[in-house]
Structure 1
Amino acid sequence: MTDNVPDSTPGFAQDTASVREATDRLLVDVGKLDDEAIGEPSLLPDWTRGHLLAHVARNADALVNLLTWARTGIRTPMYASAEARNADIAEGADRPLAVHLDDLRSSAERFDAAAAALPPTRRQYELEMRNGVLERAARLPFRRLTEVELHRIDLGVGYGIEQLPTAFVDAALAFLTGKKFAGHVDVPAVELRTPDGRRWRTGRTEHTGRVTEDAGDVPYLVVSGAPAELVGWLTGRAKGTGLDTRGGPLPALPPL
């Protein structure tokens, strides 16, 4: 693991600030609910809003564990185990709204403090996230931002993909087509295109058997549309009805 090298990754401080701002917006939305609404289904299968909020809070603490690992060099896993993670979410789901709000605020403060305590020379430290995924400490604020933004959508309180901040959408497209889905055996070879001319390629590298007319000899299925629509489809938060594949169906994608 990389240790004590200068931070060459831009955006750590900005992403941390964006996490604070996104969390404040989430708290405003959650504060409009009541105890009954907390027990209603979220947009995620089998989870109430209470499950979702408990997960968001515990994710903050899990990322604090990783930031502490990066700072000290002492291995601290995100969660004690998958079973412990699931148990914490289930146990916290049925709490009153006021308790959820306090938990969201206090866990967010712990994350912010842990990020502020990480020296720039430790930001390139490589860590093992849940499910064995490797990530640099420099990317943890963006990982947290993704959790907050996407799960705000999942609450089903009127926040949609079209309201995602532009800077987040652009960063999410780079992340999803790069680290998340590039070379993924369960993701077809696709080229994403936006109206402003930007393009991203991701998924498998072999020929899909479906190439749009304007793709020439490129062995990729071309999917075109607005950046937020692409992020919605890639993350499973939208069906992609506004995307263009020249008449063909959108390919299925694995869950995040």
Structure 2
Amino acid sequence: MIDHVHDLHSVRAATDRLLSAVAKLDNASLAEPSRLPGWTRGHILAHLARNADALVNVFEGRPMYASAEARDADIERDAGRTLEEQLTDVRDSADRWQAVTEVPADWSRTVELRNGVTDSAARVPFRRLVEVELHHVDLGIGYELADLPAEFTAREIEFLAERWSGRPEVPPVALVAADGGRWHTGSAEGTQVTVRGTSADILGWLAGRGDKGAALTVDGGTLPALPPL
């Protein structure tokens, strides 16, 4: 069951962790490559700030972004800023998003996100949590998939397993985590493979992070290729 109040608290805690970690960097570190191809750490921080403002737009009934081109241009514009500017922007934009969520509203309503994707308002805080947590890992500054809160990891695995469920290009897959978690994804037809490993490694494979599944073991075949997120 989705609990948006709980998720909003988790977003705040995750944002505080990220800001504390980034505050230990310097301007030169922000210009270095992140773990995302083509993006520096500054690009990631700019994206997080603009994503928070985009969610304000969503909750206030405006398009999430003016256009895909405008979104990319805003990130590129803000990527090269100083550490102080980046920290202030990420913090202030997060505060703006939190403020909008505190306005009395119908959390069961449907909202429109990017590229025509719709979801219930109550699920949006978890979507923001995904942005903050995974991009913290993407910064490559010591916060790894294994450091993510266990509750978050299990929920994100479930979310991504659902995303790839029913996709004909992905064979049936049983996901078995060393801590006891079990999920299914992929097509309903074909020969099932069983993928085993830590929850962190399973998440890394599903989300295209970390070693992208290299540490996983597969019974009944080879590790399937997943479509891009």
CA shift, 1:187, in A, is: 3.2
Which of these residues, 242, 251, 255, is aligned with residue 215 of structure 2? 242
Question: Match of 1:15?
Answer: 7
SS in 2 for 1:192: strand
CA shift, 1:117, in A, is: 1.4
CA shift, 1:125, in A, is: 1.2
Q: Which residues in structure 2 correspond to 1:106-185 (within 5 Å)?
A: 106-119=92-105, 122-178=106-162, 180-185=163-168
- Separation in 2, partners of 1:65, 1:46: 27
CA shift, 1:128, in A, is: 2.0
- Separation in 2, partners of 1:48, 1:88: 14
Question: Match of 2:184?
Answer: 201
- Structure 1 residues 186, 92: CA separation in 2 closer, same or farther (over 3 Å shift)? farther
Amino acid at match of 1:168: F
Q: For residues 99-147 of structure 1, what are the alpha-carbon distances to aligned partners after superposition, in whole Å with 9 as ceiling and x for unaligned? A: 000000000001111112142xx11111221122221110010000000
Question: Structure 2: 5+ residue runs without aligned partners?
Answer: none
- Separation in 2, partners of 1:31, 1:90: 21
TM-score (norm 2): 0.94
Question: Match of 2:20?
Answer: 28
Q: Find out whether 1:89 has 2:81 as its counterpart.
A: no
- Separation in 2, partners of 1:25, 1:102: 15
Aligned partners of 1:66 and 1:137 also within 8 Å = no
TM-score (norm 1): 0.84
Aligned partners of 2:179 and 2:199 also within 8 Å = no
Q: For residues 15-69 of structure 1, what are the alpha-carbon distances to aligned partners after superposition, in whole Å with 9 as ceiling and x for unaligned? A: 0000000000000111111111111111000011111110011011111111222
Question: Match of 2:35?
Answer: 43
- Separation in 2, partners of 1:115, 1:250: 40
Aligned partners of 2:56 and 2:97 also within 8 Å = yes
- Structure 1 residues 95, 60: CA separation in 2 closer, same or farther (over 3 Å shift)? same
Amino acid at match of 1:124: S
Amino acid at match of 1:240: G
RMSD: 1.5
Greater RCO, CA 8 A, separation 6+:
1
Aligned partners of 2:193 and 2:219 also within 8 Å = no
